Amino acid sequence: MTLADGLGRNEDGVVRCRWGGGEERGVGARIDPGTDAVLIRAYHDHEWGLPVTDDVRLFEKLALEGFQAGLSWLTILRKREAFRRAFAGFDFREVARFGGRDVERLLGDASIVRHRGKIESTINNARRAVELVEAEGSLAAFVWRFEPDSAARPERLTHEALRELTQTDASRALAKELKRRGWTFVGPTTVYAFMQAMGLVDDHIEGCDARQRVEAARSSLTRPVT
């Protein structure tokens, strides 16, 4: 059976979004066909698109999307555990207390992406996250307000439709509001990637084995409220 564009069937028999199968052209970086493929497939199958309402995980993803700017997601995924160790598990209340010595420590940590601007942005955004939670009740309640209405979504999520979704009205609105509150490295394309990963939208292509699981999780989700 011929698969639709953007899908691939891997040797395990699972049909996935092509990038989720661990193919080089789908992740934007040279991959190891063993370790990297396992890492990417696990992320695609068990994380990407499943709805998240945990504040720490939401902050982590926003931070890692900022670090990804100019890089491939595979580069960040390979280093994710190192990032978690370096940034106190992305507990934003802890990261908000980081100071100059922490910046220098992180700049000396070869296991993460050593970019001063991105490191300082993460610390700044942690402080803004603390303020946002104080004002709104939770980070989850805030970001889920920007979940797009189904009418704003493609009727059928094909590879061609997905190529047009690098940013949306919802991601532009969320990015604008985050920037207004003092967040940095949160442009509308970065924010849309965050929305895809955290399940505010389901961008698994029609026919991907993960799509049904994601749709079921989204349907049963109790949306957080302030």
Confidence of residue 23 (pLDDT cuts 50, 70, 90): low
Q: What is the pLDDT of residue 164?
A: 92
- Concerning whether 43 is annotated as a catalytic residue, the answer is yes
> How far, CA to CA in Å, does 163 sit from each of 61, 158, 174?
22, 9, 20
Q: What is the pLDDT of residue 34?
A: 75
- Concerning whether 192 is annotated as a catalytic residue, the answer is no
**Cβ atoms of residues 8 and 18 within 8 Å:** yes
Annotated catalytic residue, options 19, 48, 73, 183:
73
d(CA 18, CA 10): 9
Q: What is the pLDDT of residue 62?
A: 98
> Quick count: other Cβ atoms within 10 Å of Cβ 125?
25
Annotated catalytic residue, options 43, 144, 183, 192:
43
Confidence of residue 9 (pLDDT cuts 50, 70, 90): very high
Taking only the tens place, the pLDDT of each residue in 83-133 is 999 999 999 999 999 999 999 999 999 999 999 999 999 999 999 999 999
Q: Is-above-0.85 flag for pTM?
A: yes
Taking only the tens place, the pLDDT of each residue in 206-221 is 999 999 999 999 999 9
Annotated catalytic residue, options 19, 48, 60, 65:
65
Q: What is the pLDDT of residue 212?
A: 96
The one-letter amino acid at 193: A
d(CA 171, CA 194): 9
